[in-house]
Structure formats: structure tokens, C-alpha cells
Amino acid sequence: MEKLLTLLERDATLTPAELAVMLSKEEGEIKEMIAELEANGTILGYKTIVDWDKTDREYVNALIEVKVMPQHDGGFDKIADKIKHLPEIKGLYLMSGGFDFTVLLEGKTMKEVAFFVARKLAPLENVTATATHFVLKTYKDKGTVYDMPEKDPRDKLLI
């Protein structure tokens, strides 16, 4: 199960037939395992890793540190519930250390992100402070290295 998940996390395009070969199982068995993992919410979805810098699309990513005042009745989870449903937000993590949440956010421009923080995030009840950090360049995301070398460094004449 763990091996199957590790392989799918690395490459979601692997077909059940390929996974069967890689894990020495029957294709049907793999299909059943995946169906079960999807049904019980272990597999939450399949997405594509896009290097948007290769396109004309304008975008900016930001990482925002958020400090909050925990609520008596629901602790951090209740505050997280309010933040996570904002559609602009791509990631939300409860942190140890000097602040409470990390929010990952994508906007069209820095201004848009700044407005979002000022108008939607900071005013939330219990949020006591925010610090916005803009991403300047992505080198690696979700285990995938960006800017892969285009040329195969191996000598094609060596057999």
C-alpha cells in the first residue's frame, strides 16, 4: 500500500498495468487498491505540475506567516476552517515555532496578494499579525525539480 502510494505520488500517470509490473501484483489487484484508497480519502486527487514561467500567464506566489489568538472552543482548527475556504489559498499549514499558520497563496500581481492579505486575511477575527513573503523563483516543488537539464549529459556513443 505504502509503495503504491509512493509511486503514485511521484507520478500519477502510471497506469494500473505499469504499477502491477512495478509492484509484482495483478492489474486487477492494483485497481482495487486504488479504488479503496480513493474511497477512503487517502488519495485525495491527481494534479499536474506546471512551470508557469514557461507561459505568458502573469502570477505571483506568496508565503504568508499568520499569527492568531487561538479560540477557546475550537483552538486552531476553527480558525483554519475560516481561512482554508478562501479560494485564493493554495496551502494552509499549522506550524510550530514563532508563528501559527503558513498560508500559500497565488495571485495575479503582488498588489493583488497585498490586497488579499489586507482585506480578507488580516481582518479575520483572531488574526493578530501577518508577514507576507513573495516567491521570487521556484527551484523545486512537490519533489519536482524545475528547469530540468534539456540535454542528456550521457555520451550517446558509448555502448
Q: Which of residues 107-136 bind other proteins (CB under 8 A)?
A: none
Exposure of 103 by Cβ count < 10 A (0-12 exposed, 13-18 middle, 19+ buried)? buried
Is the separation of the CB atoms in 99 and 67 below 8 Å?
yes
Distance of alpha carbon 46 from alpha carbon 13, whole angstroms: 9
**Choice from 5, 8, 16, 18 touching other proteins (CB under 8 A):** 18
Establish if 17 lies at the interface with other proteins (CB under 8 A).
yes
Question: CB of 53: closest distance to other proteins in angstroms?
Answer: 20
Which three three-digit cell numbers place residue 61? Answer: 506566489
Establish if 156 lies at the interface with other proteins (CB under 8 A).
yes
Q: Within 10 Å of residue 107's Cβ, how many Cβ atoms?
A: 19
Question: CB of 78: closest distance to other proteins in angstroms?
Answer: 40
Establish if 21 lies at the interface with other proteins (CB under 8 A).
yes
Establish if 1 lies at the interface with other proteins (CB under 8 A).
no
Which three three-digit cell numbers place residue 121? Answer: 486575511
Q: Which residue bears the cell 558509448?
A: 158
**Choice from 24, 40, 55, 96 touching other proteins (CB under 8 A):** 24
Interface positions with other proteins (CB under 8 A): 7, 14, 17-18, 21-24, 152, 154-159
